[in-house]
Amino acid sequence: MAQNTIAKYKMIVIGGSAGSLNIVLKIVAALPVTTYLSVVIIMHRKNDNESVLSNLLSARTNLIVKEVEDKEDIAGGCIYLAPADYHLLLENKNMFCLDISEKVHHSRPSIDVTFESVAEVIGDKAVAVLLSGANADGADGLHKIKQAGGYTIVQDPASAEVGYMPQQAIDQMQPDKILNGDDIGDFIKQLLS
């Protein structure tokens, strides 16, 4: 069973905005340390707190945590953060690229931009998670990941600090799972085991 799961999922991609930080920290703490899985986190944030977020995440995991640099190779066993003020895309299955095109849903990085790129490049080998937030960013991209065969998880809007973003995804599609924010980390761990 574990071999099938290892072959099945290669990337977990997590999008969040207002009110999502505590849930992201809980998810990161629950993730198993593996060499085959990459984790990508896209959060709407200001340009001045990049090291603070990296440090917060690093304190809760044994996985390597780093901000993505343009043309960086994608490695397993790492948590990659979309840098503030850049869209994060997958150039191919092995490399990231950064983009400074216009904001999407008033956001750069945009969750939709990354999710859509993951849908195109990783497809059914992705697990995508959409968390608390105050705009509709992420709903379209999550739908594309689901259409590509990836596994989709949405935070229950009732458990979100700001339920608008997850509610937009639920209104647009039927995610594979809708979970209380506190349960997402453990669910992902079970999904991967």
Answer whether 41's CB lies under 8 Å from 24's CB. Answer: yes
For the cut 80, the answer to whether the pLDDT of residue 50 exceeds it is no
Known catalytic residues? 17, 44, 137
Domain count, the chain: 1
**For position 147, which CATH number holds?**
3.40.50.180
Stronger pLDDT, 1 or 41, i.e. the higher one: 41
For the cut 50, the answer to whether the pLDDT of residue 2 exceeds it is no
pLDDT of residue 5: 43
For the cut 50, the answer to whether the pLDDT of residue 112 exceeds it is yes
For the cut 80, the answer to whether the pLDDT of residue 16 exceeds it is yes
Torsion (CA) 128, 74, 39, 8 in degrees, nearest 10: 60
pLDDT of residue 116: 98
Stronger pLDDT, 35 or 57, i.e. the higher one: 57
Could you list the residue range(s) of the whole structural domain that residue 187 is in?
2-192
pLDDT tens-digit series, residues 134-154: 999 999 999 999 999 999 999
pLDDT tens-digit series, residues 82-101: 999 999 999 999 999 999 99
